[in-house]
Amino acid sequence: MRWLWIDRILAIEPGERLVACKAVSLSEPHLHQHFPARGDDEALPVVPAPLIIEGMAQTGGLLAGHARGFVDDVVLAKLRRAELAFEVLPGATIEFDARLSNIDDSGASVEGTVCVQDPSWDGARKLGEIGLMFAHVPPQREGLQVAEAFRTLVSASVRAGGPGIKSFAI
């Protein structure tokens, strides 16, 4: 894990389900390249689809890692499918709802639903579904440790409160 791409855990059912969210900000530099103004076309800052998949991969990876006490590293190994219905703009919040469908010593599979809340809308809309496979590999010493990242997230999430996370101990 190189960086955290999710901001908050909203709910966790250990070994089964993890819901996390990410707030999209126009201060994220990549949005200015995706897509810049060109000729007569105005700039169109939208979240690149691979980064939406990354958010689900982090949510699902933390769910799988936590299920086994972070004894292994969890590496994204396969994108089973991804169907995303619309573009996500700065100011929106993306919610990743990951469910563990299978896990063993060699890997795990996760099925996820992605929803978006945009301040301009009444209510949330379903963006799509993402299916992922993870491989369990021996822990790496470099980069952000998964367990450490998880503790950071849980700490911020517990402080924020909410029924889904309050009862959960790190």
Partner 1 sequence: MNAHSISERLPGPFLAAGAGPDGEAMTREEIQAKVQDVLAEVLGIDEDEVTPRATLTGDLGAESIDFLDIVFRLEQAFDVKIAQGELFPENLQQDPEYVQDGALTQAGLSALREKLPHAEIDRIEDDPRLARVGEIFTVDAIISFVERKLGAAA
Residues binding partner 1 (CB under 8 A): 10-11, 19, 21, 77-78, 80, 93, 95, 97, 99, 101-102, 104-107, 109, 111, 113, 115, 117, 124, 126, 133, 135, 162-165
Q: Which is nearer to partner 1, 45 or 92 (CB)?
A: 92
Provide the minimum distance between the beta carbon of 99 and partner 1 in the complex, in angstroms, as a whole number.
7
Active site residue 30: no
Q: Which is nearer to partner 1, 45 or 60 (CB)?
A: 60
Q: Is 28 left (phi over 0), alpha (psi -120 to 50) or beta?
A: beta
User: Which tokens belong to 150?
Assistant: 């998880």
User: Which tokens belong to 117?
Assistant: 């809340």
Provide the minimum distance between the beta carbon of 36 and partner 1 in the complex, in angstroms, as a whole number.
31
What angle in degrees, to the nearest 10, is found between the helix axes of 146-160 and 49-67?
Answer: 100
Burial class (CB in 10 A: 0-12, 13-18, 19+), 65: buried
